Chain A
Amino acid sequence: MDIKLQQVSYAYSKGTPFEKYALHDVELSIASGTYEAIIGHTGSGKSTILQHFNGLLKPSSGTVHIGDRVVEAGKKAKELKPIRQKVGIVFQFPEHQLFEETVLKDIMFGPMNFGVSEKDAEKRARELITLVGLPDNILEKSPFDLSGGQMRRVAIAGVLAMEPEVIVLDEPTAGLDPRGQKEIMDLFYTLHKEKGLTTILVTHSMEDAARYADRIAIMHEGKCVLTGEPRALFADSATLAKYRLEPPRVVRFQHKVEQMIGKKLSKVCLIEEELAEELGQAIREGRAEQ
């Protein structure tokens, strides 16, 4: 499902003394099947943009295309329910999307709301709870009697249970333990590849953006100021700095190494494995020359 924002502006509390524009004329196209990362400093408008992807927020001006649906400022949007099913959002604060009495009911709610039978919904919930790294017995607990990271995992299971075509993730790893961060990001990536999903990741982790995304969009003060491929984008530290961002740790480390050896490697490496390979090769070539 393609997603396209044209000239989208959004004001919170529009028409009141508290009116506040959080988005200004945002242009953004995300082609079906893309893994898109959206990065930007605190308050740049990332969470606001995300909520336009399933019609949760309607633009104050401009147009949002979600597949064949159009959400336009000033017009009443047609039936958005099918969109809510196809576009699943994992919110920045998991508490905002948990509400049932038990974890099991919470995960089953979405699918059943969209017509999946109770039996199938329960089956999905039981499979997913393991997939997000939680023990079965947590299904009977109240989602509010969980630790922060456990809540996050339940919220993720709830969205996956809907089997969406587009997965929108707002800081999905905040609160997860380090191993969980890696496992959950790998899980999203596997689903992305296997099911041909469109995945949109809002993150402060430049490392995750570099590792997983096909494309990156930079938000700055309510505008989408730059889009591009990770390698080109993260090679340009000066531009990133303008938006109060910096390249991933591995790229910064590469710069340090290059400075030390007084020579550039053949490319900017986005992940640790790649840098190890490049450096290994550079060192072997250096030895051969001697």
Chain B
Amino acid sequence: MSEILSFNHITFSYTPENAEARKAVQDVSFSVNQGEWIAIVGHNGSGKSTMAKLMCGLLFPEQGEVRIKRDVLTEENLWEIRSQIGMVFQNPDNQFVGATVQDDVAFSLENNGVPYEEMVIRVKEALEQVKMEGFINHEPHHLSGGQKQRVAIAGALAMYPQILILDEATSMLDPQGREEVLKTVQALREKIGLTVLSITHDLEEALLADRVIFMNDGKKYAEGTPAEIFALGDQLVDFGLDLPFATKMTKLLQAQGVQLVGQHMTEEELVNDLWTSNFNK
């Protein structure tokens, strides 16, 4: 497996002049392999969006370095590197530049010199992937919240990125829409080995990741498989998160005197345990 992105002792402050102020990101290191799906979780203000901006060179670290495919991200190679990264911001309004939905999705393609014919095909394809093909001539700012998020995702997909960074990109989608987008992204991973970094407050989504990075107060509090992270139990709640549905349900059932063998993270595990421990006797 080859490394595609890494943070090497990254520190960043929005107010460098104030030495006492807490840094938005403090001494964070991690490494991501090509094709991995990484979920980044953590309380509000824990530094997640700041990290996303550091990954694509919208901000530069005070200390440490960001590497993309072993190249240190600098002002010089910024544009070249950015063309390999698709980024969806937390607030889609901040990312729209085009007057219409199709112009908007085409914008970064045009900037990267994609030939016109290919651009047309890619824009259409990306908008179909998010089911917004019926809105090509609409103004992006005049869409519903979920429609805006879909268009922002299309903009990133149309780039054919090698790394996709999603900053709460599905927070305003209806549950079906959210599932559809996740499926689309999964399919791209299988097809082209896309690497995904998804910042999310949706713990059920985090459960699907290969690895979870758990942020607290600008520092990396823990990193591991979803099973390892969710085994932290009440610490999750202390630091602004919650337990997955199946884990909460397990606790509630045990409190009702229902026999269960383990702590469960998924519904399947819980249903099976319920059956073997209580019914199949």
Known: A179-B237, A253-B245, A286-B279. A41 touches B171 (CB 8 A): no
Contact A42 B278 (CB under 8 A): no
Cα of A286 to Cα of B257 in the assembled complex, Å: 13
The reply to whether the CB of A242 lies closer than 8 angstroms to some CB of chain B is: no
A-contact 0/1 string along B163-183, CB 8 Å cutoff: 000001001111111100000
**What band does the interface of chain B fall in when counting residues whose beta carbon is under 8 Å from A?**
35 or more
The reply to whether the CB of B226 lies closer than 8 angstroms to some CB of chain A is: no
**What band does the interface of chain A fall in when counting residues whose beta carbon is under 8 Å from B?**
35 or more
Which residues of chain B are near A95, meaning CB under 8 Å? 91, 93
Contact B278 A175 (CB under 8 A): no
The reply to whether the CB of B229 lies closer than 8 angstroms to some CB of chain A is: no
Contact B177 A256 (CB under 8 A): no
A-contact 0/1 string along B237-281, CB 8 Å cutoff: 100111001001100110111100000000100010011001100
Known: A175-B168, A276-B256. A42 touches B44 (CB 8 A): no
Q: Which of B31-39, B58-66, B144-152 contacts A (4 or more CB under 8 A)?
A: B144-152
From A43, A177, A246, B44 is in contact (CB under 8 Å) with A177
The reply to whether the CB of A92 lies closer than 8 angstroms to some CB of chain B is: yes
Which A residues, 96 to 149, have Cβ-Cβ distances below 8 Å to chain B? 145-149
Known: A275-B249, A276-B256. A145 touches B14 (CB 8 A): yes
Cα of A62 to Cα of B168 in the assembled complex, Å: 37
Which residues of chain A are near B267, meaning CB under 8 Å? 253, 256
Which residues of chain A are near B252, meaning CB under 8 Å? 272-273, 275-276
- The residue in chain B whose Cβ has the minimal distance to the Cβ of A207 is B245
B197 to chain A, nearest CB (A): 16
Cα of A249 to Cα of B93 in the assembled complex, Å: 30
The reply to whether the CB of A227 lies closer than 8 angstroms to some CB of chain B is: no
The reply to whether the CB of B209 lies closer than 8 angstroms to some CB of chain A is: no
Cα of A181 to Cα of B242 in the assembled complex, Å: 10
Which B residues, 56 to 98, have Cβ-Cβ distances below 8 Å to chain A? 90-91, 93
The reply to whether the CB of A90 lies closer than 8 angstroms to some CB of chain B is: no
Cα of A32 to Cα of B243 in the assembled complex, Å: 35
Cα of A153 to Cα of B43 in the assembled complex, Å: 13
Contact A41 B14 (CB under 8 A): no
Cα of A149 to Cα of B150 in the assembled complex, Å: 20
B216 to chain A, nearest CB (A): 11
Known: A145-B14, A180-B44. A43 touches B146 (CB 8 A): yes
Which residues of chain B are near A284, meaning CB under 8 Å? 257
* Among B43, B44, B146, B271: residue with most chain A CB under 10 A: B44
From B49, B241, B256, B257, A148 is in contact (CB under 8 Å) with B49
Which residues of chain B are near A148, meaning CB under 8 Å? 44, 49, 90-91, 168
Cα of A93 to Cα of B168 in the assembled complex, Å: 13
Contact A249 B144 (CB under 8 A): no
Known: A148-B49, A260-B274, A273-B252. A180 touches B43 (CB 8 A): yes
Which residues of chain A are near B168, meaning CB under 8 Å? 148, 174-175
Contact B177 A178 (CB under 8 A): no
Which residues of chain B are near A281, meaning CB under 8 Å? 256
From B93, B171, B253, B255, A175 is in contact (CB under 8 Å) with B171
The reply to whether the CB of B140 lies closer than 8 angstroms to some CB of chain A is: no
Which residues of chain B are near A181, meaning CB under 8 Å? 201, 242
A177 to chain B, nearest CB (A): 4
The reply to whether the CB of B207 lies closer than 8 angstroms to some CB of chain A is: no
Cα of A181 to Cα of B203 in the assembled complex, Å: 12
Cα of A176 to Cα of B274 in the assembled complex, Å: 32
A181 to chain B, nearest CB (A): 7
Contact B49 A204 (CB under 8 A): no
B214 to chain A, nearest CB (A): 12
- The residue in chain A whose Cβ has the minimal distance to the Cβ of B245 is A249
- Could you write out 7 A-B pairs with CB less than 8 Å apart? A12-B142, A41-B177, A42-B145, A179-B242, A180-B240, A272-B249, A273-B252
In order of increasing CB-CB distance, the 10 nearest A-B pairs are A149-B44, A280-B256, A42-B146, A276-B252, A178-B242, A177-B240, A174-B171, A41-B174, A92-B145, A147-B45
**Which residues from chain A sit less than 8 Å from chain B, CB to CB?**
12, 40-43, 46-47, 92-93, 95, 145-150, 152-153, 170-171, 174-182, 204, 206, 244-246, 249-250, 253, 256-257, 260-261, 272-273, 275-277, 279-281, 283-284, 286
**Which residues from chain B sit less than 8 Å from chain A, CB to CB?**
14, 42-45, 48-49, 90-91, 93, 142-147, 150, 168, 171-178, 201, 203, 237, 240-242, 245, 248-249, 252-253, 255-258, 267, 271, 274-275, 278-279
